[in-house]
Chain A
Amino acid sequence: DTGVSQDPRHKITKRGQNVTFRCDPISEHNRLYWYRQTLGQGPEFLTYFQNEAQLEKSRLLSDRFSAERPKGSFSTLEIQRTEQGDSAMYLCASSLNVLARENYGYTFGSGTRLTVV
């Protein structure tokens, strides 16, 4: 297992278009998270899954955003009718058993850089 993979690394799209990003987590991790990060700032929580169940979605997330993890493995994040304000780095992370607190932490992918023009 080579870690968390995200695809694509970069995406340039025109305003109003739909985009979809994919994340492949570490295989034994049951939790998968999506975050958004703008330049020089900390990641902002979007949503997370435990196995295939979406447990929480940020109230800041508009209806244009949707995420799925159909088989509890990879996940997709779709943004419909993109706006310039959606331009950011979209980060995916996965984590091991949350009860193992001593070793708890996320493994992040390299992110997808979205630019809406």
Chain B
Amino acid sequence: TQLLEQSPQFLSIQEGENLTVYCNSSSVFSSLQWYRQEPGEGPVLLVTVVTGGEVKKLKRLTFQFGDARKDSSLHITAAQPGDTGLYLCAGAGAGGTSYGKLTFGQGTILTVHP
């Protein structure tokens, strides 16, 4: 069974601060995604990282995939209240019937105060 450990579980910060969310596993994934979810809605895909060591930037968000494709991080620069939400990492299985099936981390609830 593939497990993803996401940390921290809760993050409460002031507008303008920087933050990093971590996602770790002992399993190798074919790709890793980050999603953002608002209350009462389904998760929305932010980014997919595929190659070990890959770094992707999406405005103030920077995503990194570990060299061994087992871990990832999300860094937000100068957080804004609109960034508030549940952030989820998800790893795609690497083989067999699990190929493409996503395993999610527990999520990080981010609150950015004005």
Residues on A facing B (Cβ under 8 Å): 4, 31, 33, 35, 40-45, 48, 55-56, 91, 93, 95, 98, 101-111, 113
Please classify how large the interface on chain B is, using the bins under 10, 10 to 19, 20 to 34, 35 or more.
20 to 34
How far is A48 from B96 in the complex, measured between Cα atoms in Å?
A: 14
Residues on B facing A (Cβ under 8 Å): 4, 6, 30-31, 33, 35, 40-45, 48, 50, 86, 88, 90, 92, 97-107, 109
- Let me know if A102 and B48 touch, CB within 8 A: yes
Please indicate the chain B residues that have their CB under 8 angstroms from the CB of A55 in the complex: 97
The residue among B48, B100, B101 with the most chain A CB atoms within 10 A of its own CB is B100
- Let me know if B50 and A41 touch, CB within 8 A: no
Q: Identify B106's interface contact among A35, A41, A45, A108, CB under 8 A.
A: A41
- Let me know if A31 and B42 touch, CB within 8 A: no
- Let me know if B100 and A98 touch, CB within 8 A: yes
